[in-house]
Amino acid sequence: MRRNRRVKILATLGPSSSEQDIIEKLYRSGADVFRINMSHTDHDRLKMLVERIRSVEEKVGRPIGILADLQGPKLRVGTFADGPVMLENGATFTLDADKSGGSVDRVHLPHPEILQALEPGHRLLLDDGKIQLKVLEADRTRAVTEVVVGGKLSDRKGVSVPDSEIATSAMTEKDHKDLIAALDQNVDWVALSFVQRPDDIAEVRKITRGRAGVLAKIEKPQAIGRLDEIIELSDAIMVARGDLGVELPLEQVPGLQKRITRACRRAGKPVVIATQMLESMINAPVPTRAEVSDVATAVFEGADAVMLSAESAAGEFPIEAVSTMDKIAQQVEQDPNYRTIIYAQRTEPEATGADAISAAARQIAETLNLAAVVCYTTSGATGLRASRERPASPVIVLSPVLATARRLSLGWGLHCVVSEDAANEEDMIDRACRISFSEGFAKPGQRIIVTAGVPFGTPGSTNMLRIAFVGNDGQGGI
């Protein structure tokens, strides 16, 4: 079963999409990777969802990726003594360490780390940015603010501090437990929320120890300032436009999306575009024209994956949402402008043998109009290098490691097949030709290009490429 597009679709599971038959329909409609949101999932439910995805994987015979998305620190105000209050523009409002019920003048802020980080002039955004405060004076026990944009404020609404770097980890105690539970279930990716600095990624890496890919969600202004370091330490990146659009002016988000996408492409790391892509499909069977344009922009830009959140998790039309995204992506990738844009963004290969071979394989495949580029990979690094090149020919990744094939299901254009490692060069060519033929990528008489590492079975040693003919029986010949 092969996709007719290169960009991947990441679908979130939830109340609308927890049953095994729905998960299978989502996969068949186009979902390549499933996201489990740990904000709304306990460990028993996580185990159940993973088991159901793995059952679908066995039925369809294709590797499927699973992403566990950690909640991250949730910063909230305390409670009000007499119900919601109305904050008027220009009024003074205090956030403090006093645990008693709040009023129109003050409220408890149960986060001493925020009070320690605030300085005069800093902004505080409450309730997803609907209320904006400016700090007038601050010490370790309270912050006196002016209400810049007022509104109704009720119990436990979220707090964002875009101008302050908070001295707290991106991992809470809950996240730590959730991460261990996700690793126990052999998920393929873990997503870290509210990353501020490279150290946040290093902390997760110490626990995962390579058992899952680490995806950093970019949703804080502080992360933008240290983007290159965060990309370098991560295995993949998500442009989490929801919180990014709360903490930064909305009009900056499209430019940042492009900047992050291109930085990831240069680094050869998968990048996912997320939040509100087909938001109206939560309640409607068709999207708005603007949403179609938004998905198309991410595909034109060369993102590795586009993501559905509530659309597939809690919406009324989860299968239609995936199917719509699939159709948009296919149409964009057939557009004459698509290749021009993808080519224009291509960067020079790194000065390594493996990078040079991946770039050469792409160039040879395009010059000779070959049916497919076939990569042998154990760790997955060769597959991602091939993906970074964004070749016009399909890319088939052959790996003896099921976990590698599942993880690479997030990478642009990668068709992953679990296959034993080649015994020798002849076996390598035969196997590549046979799989290209059986998976529907190459017909008898067509040629493919194969990249691999010699000696076989040595990770990270891509050092050869061969052009091979696919014979009448699908066997290979040089």
**If you average pLDDT over residues 173-194, what whole number do you get?**
97
3-state percent helix, strand, coil for the chain, nearest multiple of 5 = 40, 25, 40
DSSP 279: G
Domain 8-73+169-336 annotated CATH 3.10.20.30: no
**If you average pLDDT over residues 143-150, what whole number do you get?**
97
Name which of 13, 105, 110 is nearest 52 in CA terms: 13
The pTM is what?
Answer: 0.94
Report pLDDT digits (tens) over 228-252. Answer: 999 999 999 999 999 999 999 999 9
Q: 3-state DSSP call for residue 96?
A: strand
Report pLDDT digits (tens) over 105-144. Answer: 999 999 999 999 999 999 999 998 999 999 999 999 999 9
The whole-angstrom separation of Cα 323 and Cα 25 is 10
The residue to which tokens 């900047």 are assigned = 259
Q: 3-state DSSP call for residue 269?
A: coil
* Range of lowest pLDDT (153-167, 206-220, 253-267): 153-167
Cβ contact 304:33 at 8 Å: no
**If you average pLDDT over residues 287-303, what whole number do you get?**
97
The residue to which tokens 């930085």 are assigned = 263
**If you average pLDDT over residues 271-277, what whole number do you get?**
97
Q: What's the half-sphere exposure (Cβ side, CA atoms, 13 Å) at 345?
A: 24
Tell me, which fold does domain 85-160 have in CATH? Answer: M1 Pyruvate Kinase; Domain 3 (2.40.33)
Strand partners, 153: 85
Q: Is residue 475 scored above 80 in pLDDT?
A: no
| Number of Cβ atoms within 10 Å of the Cβ of 364 | 17
The whole-angstrom separation of Cα 43 and Cα 420 is 33
Domain definitions of the chain by residue range: 8-73+169-336, 85-160, 353-477
Give Dmax (Cα) for the chain.
81
For the 353-477 domain, the top CATH level (class) is alpha beta
The whole-angstrom separation of Cα 217 and Cα 8 is 17
Q: Can 8-73+169-336 and 353-477 be said to share one CATH topology?
A: no
Catalytic residues, by residue number, are 35, 76, 217, 275
Would you state the pLDDT for residue 474?
65
